[in-house]
């Protein structure tokens, strides 16, 4: 069976920096309150003219450039997002046109914070079976366009930021490869982290007389999400370790979804590793949902935290609930 490797990565975040002090002017909060509960100091918010597809395009362009390939080599596009430009079609179709690619397969994955690892796993299967040779995967969000930027929406508003990260995957001819991926979901708690509309339940999003603004903003039961995350993260990381018969000491770096620094600290403690082994950039970007892992991966590479031959693990947990991991030999 063929193997898959990442040959290029790139990311893009909006220029607009929103600090905790900026938020304190919009709602009843403070830098100390936000930082102590999340580890976030600032985040990027897209302006009115910047779309999810704009950020996805720029991240894709940079990943393709780093991969040093001709865009025509790409056979497939997979985009993870829950904040697409339109209800349908997906961002992937827009990217196919903007990148001027031939008529390749293109589809979106709505697995929230786990969407990038889900996309990675899907692409890996296509390449392993020989159905594709070069695949572009992206995690991209402008979720802050959906949040309530007031004291009423504070629990969500202080956490999220916008951005995009992309990777080019190709058939591997050496030991650098995706070792395994592991995907899970549990829908019984979906209302602990969800956005009710737009949707087709009762057609409430179509009839003006039935529209309720609160249905169009994300909702989160923070305590329950935190409790589940600190359980599922170590589980799915250990699953990857066991599957590949490797020890945590063999892992150079864990690159998790950037949900909350307190979650990362708890995960490191449960795994028995130093927090330095669990990469974090949440202080700069907040929670960028599907974009957080590829953005973190790009920065870890830029900082030389990952070298050829290193084993790294990507891990995510998010709405659905969904959770996932990927073990990679760089």
At residue 215, the pLDDT reads 80
- Tens digit of pLDDT for each residue in 268-303? 999 999 999 999 999 999 999 999 999 999 999 999
User: 171 near 3, Cβ under 8 Å?
Assistant: yes
Q: Alpha carbon of 174 to those of 6, 37, 178, 179: distances in Å? A: 12, 43, 11, 12
At residue 198, the pLDDT reads 84
Residue 207: which pLDDT band, with cuts at 50, 70 and 90?
A: low
User: 293 near 302, Cβ under 8 Å?
Assistant: no
* Average pLDDT of every residue of the chain: 95
Q: Which residues are annotated as catalytic?
A: 113, 257, 287
Residue 209 reports pLDDT greater than 60: no
State the Cα–Cα distance between residues 118 and 290, nearest whole angstrom: 10
Mean pLDDT of all residues in 235-244: 98
Mean pLDDT of all residues in 22-26: 97
Cβ neighbour number for residue 20 with a 10 Å cutoff: 19
At residue 208, the pLDDT reads 65
The H or E element that residue 62 is part of is: helix 52-67
Give residue for tokens 């969800």. Answer: 194
Residue 203 reports pLDDT greater than 70: no
Buried b (16+ CB within 10 A) or exposed e, 275-306: eebbbbbbebbbbbbbbbbbbbbbbbbeeebb
Residue 211: which pLDDT band, with cuts at 50, 70 and 90?
A: low
Residue 218: which pLDDT band, with cuts at 50, 70 and 90?
A: confident
Q: Which residues contact 128 (CB under 8 A, 6 or more apart)?
A: 1, 2, 3, 4
- Tens digit of pLDDT for each residue in 130-163? 999 999 999 999 999 999 999 999 999 999 999 9
Residue 306: which pLDDT band, with cuts at 50, 70 and 90?
A: very high
Residue 308 reports pLDDT greater than 70: yes
pTM beyond 0.85: the answer is yes
At residue 206, the pLDDT reads 61
Which residues is 318 bridged to in the sheet?
322
Helix (H, G, I), strand (E, B) or coil at 146: coil
Q: What percent of the chain has pLDDT over 70?
A: 97
CA angle 243, 245, 251 (to 5 degrees): 100
């Amino acid at each position: 069976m063929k193997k898959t490797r990442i040959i290029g990565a790139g990311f893009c975040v909006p220029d607009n920096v929103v600090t905790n002090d900026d938020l304190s002017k919009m709602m009843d909060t403070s830098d100390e309150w936000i930082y102590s509960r999340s580890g976030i100091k600032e985040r990027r918010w897209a302006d009115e003219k910047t779309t999810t597809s704009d950020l996805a395009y720029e991240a894709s362009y940079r990943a393709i450039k780093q991969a040093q390939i001709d865009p025509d080599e790409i056979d497939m596009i997979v985009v993870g997002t829950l904040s697409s430009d339109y209800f349908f079609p997906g961002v992937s179709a827009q990217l196919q046109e903007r990148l001027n690619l031939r008529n390749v397969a293109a589809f979106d994955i709505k697995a929230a914070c786990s969407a990038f690892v889900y996309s990675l796993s899907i692409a890996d299967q296509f390449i392993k079976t020989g159905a594709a040779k070069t695949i572009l995967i992206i995690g991209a969000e402008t979720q802050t366009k959906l949040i309530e930027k007031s004291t009423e929406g504070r629990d969500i508003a202080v956490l999220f930021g916008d951005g995009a990260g992309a990777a080019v995957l190709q058939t591997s001819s050496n030991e650098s490869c995706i070792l395994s991926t592991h995907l899970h979901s549990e829908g019984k708690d979906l209302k602990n982290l969800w956005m009710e509309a737009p949707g087709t339940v009762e057609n409430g999003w179509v009839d003006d007389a039935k529209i309720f603004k609160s249905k169009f903003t994300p909702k989160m039961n923070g305590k329950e999400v935190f409790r589940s995350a600190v359980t599922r993260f170590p589980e799915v990381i250990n699953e990857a370790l066991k599957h590949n018969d490797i020890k945590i000491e063999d892992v150079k770096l864990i690159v998790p979804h950037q949900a909350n620094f307190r979650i990362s600290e708890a995960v490191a403690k449960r795994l028995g590793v130093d927090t330095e082994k669990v990469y974090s950039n949440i202080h700069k970007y907040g929670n960028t949902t599907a974009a957080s892992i590829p953005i973190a991966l790009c920065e870890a590479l830029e900082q030389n935290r990952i070298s050829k031959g290193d084993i790294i693990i990507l891990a995510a947990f998010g709405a659905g609930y969904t959770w996932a991991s990927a073990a990679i030999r760089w």
